[in-house]
Amino acid sequence: MNVLLMYYGTPYDEGELADYYTDIRHGHAPPPALLGELRERYRSIGKSPLNEITFSLARKLEGELNRRLPRFTRGLATAPEPRDPRGDARVYVGAKHNAPFIAGAVRQMAEEGVDRAVAVVAAPHYSLRSIAEYRERVDLALDELGEPFTVRFVEEYYVHPGYVAAVARRVNRALWRIRDPERAVVYFTAHSIPLRSVEADGGVYPRQVEATAKAVARRLGLVRWRVAWQSAGRTDEAWLGPDINDALREDARAGLREAVVAAVGFPADHLEVFYDLDFEARQTAAELGVHLVRAESLNDADDYVAVLADLVERAWFEET
């Protein structure tokens, strides 16, 4: 069983920041002012833990799949021989904007004789600016290598019961830290994308984020909840809103005093969680006199590992 686990990627040090940002901007180098601003954001959080979290997630996913594999091969007349002492499941990691790049992971898989694989992204919602771009990179890499193996691509898991339960558990824990949970608003956030991209695929992305939020809210019996967007780019075009800071301002005017924020668009902690939520949104909330608590991220926790393992198993064993 071969898995390509993909994620956004983050620079390992400041020296890689310009190349990383250029890659995010589709090959266009950022103007010095924008680069400087991004550098300051990274400096203020110390370091994004995204690489370490994802590598740990991959190791745990590999372990979980190897634990589960015998369950599936038990009934077979000839069980496949594990081809290496670590077990039969192998998880390769590929990042979109920084090493280890997706193309390199695909090349390594081909060199190691992979004949088929499941590809999954550490992002639960489909959009043209996220999952579609990961898929393009995988397809391009396979094409350049002459299609050495086939891939089943997991495109979304925004209402997977395990994922919804995992998020709900963390929102519930955050609510314990609220003085008056009945009156608090729970905000479910995801990365904003340009409205142009939202419209290009008929609004799939906001619908999926809304569906995650609704599923978690229903599970917890939440009455006061809404979706808000974060981390919109610094461009002139219109981005998906309302921005979390605007939503807080609007609700504060209507009497909001306590809030929980769950970044459902991002399984892991990273720059956009630590800076845009823990620093910026928290500062906005403080200015408004709102007590804001952020629900913990899933990171490499066992309940998220189990969700990814389910998705991989389903894709790997499903009939063609």
Contacting positions for ligand FEC (CB under 6 A): 8, 10, 21, 24, 38, 48, 50, 123, 127, 129-130, 191, 193, 231, 233-234, 265-266, 270-272
Residue 252 main-chain phi, psi, to 5 deg: -65, -40
Name the minimum Å distance from CB 25 to ligand FEC.
6
For residues 61 and 90, the answer to whether their CB atoms sit within 8 Å is: no
Nearer to ligand FEC, 154 or 271 (CB): 271
The DSSP code for 204 is: H
Nearer to ligand FEC, 21 or 188 (CB): 21
For residues 240 and 193, the answer to whether their CB atoms sit within 8 Å is: yes
Q: Which helix (H) or strand (E) holds 132?
A: helix 131-144
Both tokens of 297, joined, read 């991220």
259, 263, 268, 269 alpha-carbon torsion, rounded to 10°: -50
Please report how many Cα atoms fall inside a 13 Å half-sphere around the Cα of residue 6, on the Cβ side: 29
Nearer to ligand FEC, 156 or 272 (CB): 272
Name the minimum Å distance from CB 124 to ligand FEC.
9
Name the minimum Å distance from CB 126 to ligand FEC.
10
Closest CA to 297 of 262, 271, 259, 272: 262
Closest CA to 2 of 85, 92, 68: 92
Closest CA to 275 of 245, 248, 239: 245
Name the minimum Å distance from CB 106 to ligand FEC.
17
Give the C-alpha separation, 83 to 178, whole Å.
51
Name the minimum Å distance from CB 158 to ligand FEC.
12
Nearer to ligand FEC, 50 or 174 (CB): 50
Helix, coil or strand: residue 262: strand
Closest CA to 95 of 126, 60, 44, 57: 57
Name the minimum Å distance from CB 176 to ligand FEC.
27
Q: Which helix (H) or strand (E) holds 153?
A: strand 150-154
Nearer to ligand FEC, 209 or 256 (CB): 209
Name the minimum Å distance from CB 28 to ligand FEC.
9
Name the minimum Å distance from CB 228 to ligand FEC.
15
- Before 49, cis peptide (omega within 30)? no
Nearer to ligand FEC, 10 or 66 (CB): 10
Nearer to ligand FEC, 36 or 161 (CB): 36
Nearer to ligand FEC, 94 or 265 (CB): 265
